[in-house]
A and B are shown apart, each in its own frame.
Chain A
């Protein structure tokens, strides 16, 4: 692990002012420590060697008190500045990462390992505190302060200065050596933590299933085993990091001891005066303190660095479909030309070559066997999956790949296979209005909302609620049947009459009465000029369609 990562420094730019202030306060604080040592040794020497009375030294003692009070105020300031310097950088990093990870869509890291990604984005980024707030400023102080103190000691006693000057460079050398050794282990440690987190998420989501099979109790042993694995992997890292701080501490305190003994023996032989001897003794440990702190903060920052490396990798990874800058044509016409789609993680193409044209005013039914590429085709049309062969056109001579994806998606009414009923505020209990609007701007009128609810047959039930459109769904989704959720998601797709409707099994979980309602609303959307592409399992939907496209997954690659 490199001591300074330039990519992380980029995010520190916004907090440069705070970092400089922190370092400045640290330097002033170091100067005060030199003054304090000077005053203290002077008072002690005056009293013991020169026999000064209390009245003669009281001035120095008062000055000493002032130094202490000033140092106290500086300590306060440094603490307050430190938090400020990490906050902004963390915030920027978190936003950039979340934005990027969301944009990766259903095949991205969020879908593969949601627990792990969530841990990275929350605790992972929080652990960067130690990096920005403590480690970075301390790194600068570790260069400035020892040099200043060494210069002061040099003015007093040559031999002590040599002892300190020889030992100090050993400390960063040791640190580098140990750092090289621990790098792989720290990475591994973070992986263990991330997989632990993913495993918990899996376990918690599956807890109802475990209860159904009476296996929930037995999982306690699995948690114990996991905890033990976590402990031994953490301890193996800690053992090394403790050993390294042991080495550093030993170097520092032995060097102080050497200074003390050498000064003491030379003092006994009259080769040095009492005053500089005491001054050097008090000052010597302070030369090592900033370096020891760097070591401490480095280990604390290491966890954050491990997380940051992975987050930056996510931020810098390319999107599956980047899109272009061309605007969506006024008259959309979807043409799928020999499109074949494959996911890198799997061993066979998810969609065998498929071609069709979908015109405004028509309903295209996509059929095929279970797991046969129907949802993959929709992912292609949504700009979440890029064709490995063939091309998707959204207008004459305009490939989807050249089209601005944001404006393209604004033309879509989408019903996913597993819809998430969210409002943009991610309320745990979203309102009906929030769910249907889903953050789109401009917002929809009540009239438009009621109209789609009418279409999907939910209007009477929602009218019966006291709060109507502002009624909230319960956090766990209880009290709302699967069919009702499905129809809410459908109204989200239909609202505002988008020119393209992509519906994945719109009648799943619906009873035949609701199914008829939904079929009718698809027909009327098409009659109003929309392009309707619908993945269908049920004949009622195929009955409506103007054309049927049968898709299948490809052969093994």
Chain B
């Protein structure tokens, strides 16, 4: 409970709402509610006084007041809403930035704990929920307390005992009624945010896998699953509405108690001459309106509950178990690569049962071109994650003389290209310049050429300014990977770490790209992870990994001589290269029988 309260407070501070606007909204909102109460009071007095048949002129002040309060009620409410909403939306942006920064701190490995749908909910809906904190919780309560205090003071001045009674009822309406509602709805509410997130996660998961679901006929199961998540949400809604209904019932009951109580105390006061008869209608009707103003508070207690759930989920992003944090506070890596020195490195993915790297020792000097090869699942990509400082390790990984786990901003020195680099939903040019913010047009052109994308660009309607679509949906797999390569090349890292860059390209394109990479990298240092062995003869050193361990190290010639996995693979690949040339001889759009 304490931590929950902490979560809401944390959210409140991160909203860092503009203080002046908030106070102004609170005060003007109070004026609006006060006008509503005063309107009924003044009207009741006007009619009661009129019934005593006074000269009409004596009623003119009251008549003017009635009209003024009528206009004031709407006008003040309008101004309050504009100011309040504007302030709240400003706070919302502050909060969203803070949450993004939290996500950024745990990226990339910490993000794996959440599905994309879940993260979308946290950055979207959970942050939006924070709007309710100022708008539906803080401002209404502030106004309710101010209006209630003023009204109770006025009634006490007329009939002290009625003032006391209404005061007591007001305290119940402000504290006990919302508490009862919130308490009974607590369980449903705390599960509501999670339930919404579950549904969002299901939907995003289903959309992601849409073709797989349709082809394998899994949509019945998926629909069933979505229906179940939906029903759970409905049940929680129903439970919440039960509490909300109880809140309305309590509010109406309190209203009735106030009106009936005021009558019971004021009527004897009229008869004893303590209260002028002209005030009786006002004393009876004012509580009617006052408790209408207070009737929104149970709803705002529920809003607070929902906000609390979202606030907790936002805090949760950082507090999850075993989030491997990148080092962001250490000394940034120097931009020039000097050496990598690995001694007895073991590494394990969070939550995995086995080590993915076992006792790996390795030394890479500036200017060297090193290849890491091996069967799939042998730990090659794990090694890349360790080198980039993403994955915790035991043993020692020294970059430029400093332990990687104590180094921040490894990217300054080493540029990584993974098997699945993300293509952003923007233009080709913007995707490239992500690698270098102030890139000139000629630098962009050069990177595009080096990545062999220039012929593709000429087929695009708007050239470099063409939108690539969400997740590069308007591009083929090969084009996406080349675009990612162009992005890396333009950033001109001192050390290139290439994790299977040619994965999704066909043999001819892959070989060409491998050659282009070697040409573009030139004298820069390079660690190339690959299971394609065609271009490795030019490497200074080839490291063979099998089952998490280094099984052989040497140049192409040395490894060919010593036999083993590498030599086997080279022989097999050589036999196949001729086939690629054979494909080029085929006619397009028709079948050619094979003679094997």
When chains A and B are docked, how far (Å) is the Cα of A110 from the Cα of B589? 30
Output the nearest chain B residue to A121 by Cβ-Cβ distance: B203
The answer to whether A211 touches B260 (Cβ under 8 A) is no
When chains A and B are docked, how far (Å) is the Cα of A252 from the Cα of B30? 20
The answer to whether A176 has its CB under 8 Å from any CB of chain B is: no
In order of increasing CB-CB distance, the 6 nearest A-B pairs are A68-B256, A483-B376, A424-B221, A227-B93, A476-B112, A371-B476
Q: Which residues of A contact B285 (CB under 8 A)?
A: 40, 282
The answer to whether A73 touches B263 (Cβ under 8 A) is no
The answer to whether B253 touches A69 (Cβ under 8 A) is yes
Binds B, one of A137-145, A166-174, A183-191, A266-274: A266-274
Q: Which residues of B contact A75 (CB under 8 A)?
A: 245, 248-249, 251-252
CB of B268, distance to nearest CB on chain A (Å)? 6
The answer to whether A177 has its CB under 8 Å from any CB of chain B is: no
Proximity bits, A455-488, B CB within 8 Å = 1, else 0: 0000000000000000000111011011110000
Choice from A217, A420, A481 contacting B377 with Cβ under 8 Å: A481
Binds A, one of B142-150, B152-160, B570-578: B570-578
The answer to whether B210 touches A476 (Cβ under 8 A) is no
The answer to whether B199 touches A72 (Cβ under 8 A) is no
The answer to whether A268 touches B70 (Cβ under 8 A) is no
The answer to whether B381 touches A371 (Cβ under 8 A) is no
Q: Which residues of B contact A330 (CB under 8 A)?
A: none
CB of B370, distance to nearest CB on chain A (Å)? 19
Q: Which residues of B contact A256 (CB under 8 A)?
A: 39, 43, 70
Q: Which residues of A contact B421 (CB under 8 A)?
A: 209
Q: Which residues of B contact A212 (CB under 8 A)?
A: 108, 388, 411, 415-416, 418
The answer to whether B589 touches A353 (Cβ under 8 A) is yes
The answer to whether B588 touches A352 (Cβ under 8 A) is yes
Q: Which residues of B contact A216 (CB under 8 A)?
A: 104, 107
CB of B60, distance to nearest CB on chain A (Å)? 9
Which residues of A238-253 are within 8 A (CB) of B?
A: 238-239, 242-243, 245-246, 249-250, 253
Binds B, one of A1-9, A305-313, A395-403, A541-549: A541-549
Output the nearest chain B residue to A54 by Cβ-Cβ distance: B267
Which residues of A131-164 are within 8 A (CB) of B?
A: none
Q: List 13 A-B contacts (CB under 8 A).
A: A75-B249, A79-B248, A94-B226, A103-B214, A205-B471, A212-B388, A250-B74, A265-B50, A356-B591, A364-B591, A438-B218, A475-B112, A513-B375
The answer to whether B120 has its CB under 8 Å from any CB of chain A is: yes
The answer to whether A545 touches B210 (Cβ under 8 A) is no
The answer to whether A267 touches B491 (Cβ under 8 A) is no
The answer to whether B54 has its CB under 8 Å from any CB of chain A is: yes
Which residues of B69-95 are within 8 A (CB) of A?
A: 69-71, 73-75, 77-78, 81-82, 85-86, 89-90, 92-93
The answer to whether A77 has its CB under 8 Å from any CB of chain B is: yes
Proximity bits, B119-132, A CB within 8 Å = 1, else 0: 11001110000000
When chains A and B are docked, how far (Å) is the Cα of A375 from the Cα of B504? 13
The answer to whether A370 touches B425 (Cβ under 8 A) is no
Which residues of A512-557 are within 8 A (CB) of B?
A: 512-514, 537-540, 542-552, 556
Known contacts A118-B203, A352-B589, A548-B591: A72-B70 contact under CB 8 Å = no
CB of A180, distance to nearest CB on chain B (Å)? 21
When chains A and B are docked, how far (Å) is the Cα of A31 from the Cα of B316? 50
When chains A and B are docked, how far (Å) is the Cα of A545 from the Cα of B500? 27
Q: Which residues of B contact A347 (CB under 8 A)?
A: 461
The answer to whether A316 has its CB under 8 Å from any CB of chain B is: no
Binds A, one of B2-10, B18-26, B168-176, B348-356: B348-356
Known contacts A204-B103, A253-B73: A227-B92 contact under CB 8 Å = yes
Q: Which residues of A contact B440 (CB under 8 A)?
A: none
**New A-B pairs, 10, CB < 8 Å, besides A69-B253, A211-B108:** A114-B471, A214-B412, A250-B75, A268-B50, A268-B53, A269-B56, A274-B51, A370-B479, A474-B352, A548-B583
CB of A238, distance to nearest CB on chain B (Å)? 6
The answer to whether A548 touches B531 (Cβ under 8 A) is no
The answer to whether B264 touches A370 (Cβ under 8 A) is no
Q: Which residues of B contact A20 (CB under 8 A)?
A: none
The answer to whether B73 touches A547 (Cβ under 8 A) is no
When chains A and B are docked, how far (Å) is the Cα of A375 from the Cα of B47? 82
The answer to whether A348 has its CB under 8 Å from any CB of chain B is: yes
Choice from B51, B500, B506 contacting A267 with Cβ under 8 Å: B51
CB of A187, distance to nearest CB on chain B (Å)? 19
The answer to whether A73 touches B589 (Cβ under 8 A) is no
Which residues of B362-392 are within 8 A (CB) of A?
A: 374-377, 381, 388
The answer to whether A69 touches B256 (Cβ under 8 A) is yes
The answer to whether A481 touches B381 (Cβ under 8 A) is yes
CB of B78, distance to nearest CB on chain A (Å)? 4
The answer to whether B470 touches A112 (Cβ under 8 A) is yes
The answer to whether A369 touches B245 (Cβ under 8 A) is no
Q: Which residues of A contact B583 (CB under 8 A)?
A: 367, 542, 548, 550
Known contacts A548-B586, A550-B587, A552-B589: A99-B223 contact under CB 8 Å = yes
Choice from B53, B212, B425 contacting A422 with Cβ under 8 Å: B212
Q: Does more than half of chain B's interface fall in helix, strand or loop, or is it mixed? A: helix
Q: Which residues of A contact B593 (CB under 8 A)?
A: 546-547
The answer to whether A355 touches B590 (Cβ under 8 A) is yes
Q: Which residues of A contact B425 (CB under 8 A)?
A: 198-199, 202
Proximity bits, A63-77, B CB within 8 Å = 1, else 0: 011011101110111
The answer to whether A264 touches B590 (Cβ under 8 A) is no
When chains A and B are docked, how far (Å) is the Cα of A426 from the Cα of B210? 11
CB of B205, distance to nearest CB on chain A (Å)? 5
Output the nearest chain A residue to B596 by Cβ-Cβ distance: A543
Known contacts A211-B107, A426-B222: A48-B491 contact under CB 8 Å = no
Choice from B46, B203, B210, B470 contacting A104 with Cβ under 8 Å: B210
Binds A, one of B236-244, B337-345, B553-561: B236-244
Q: Which residues of A contact B478 (CB under 8 A)?
A: 370-371
Known contacts A205-B422, A257-B70: A122-B256 contact under CB 8 Å = no
Q: Which residues of A contact B71 (CB under 8 A)?
A: 250, 253-254
Choice from B202, B213, B506 contacting A369 with Cβ under 8 Å: B506
The answer to whether A182 has its CB under 8 Å from any CB of chain B is: no
CB of B65, distance to nearest CB on chain A (Å)? 10
CB of A100, distance to nearest CB on chain B (Å)? 11
The answer to whether B469 has its CB under 8 Å from any CB of chain A is: yes
The answer to whether B552 has its CB under 8 Å from any CB of chain A is: no
Q: Which residues of A contact B211 (CB under 8 A)?
A: 105-106, 382, 384, 416
The answer to whether A428 has its CB under 8 Å from any CB of chain B is: yes
The answer to whether A219 has its CB under 8 Å from any CB of chain B is: yes
The answer to whether A35 has its CB under 8 Å from any CB of chain B is: no
Which residues of A30-50 are within 8 A (CB) of B?
A: 40, 43-44, 47-49
The answer to whether A514 touches B238 (Cβ under 8 A) is no
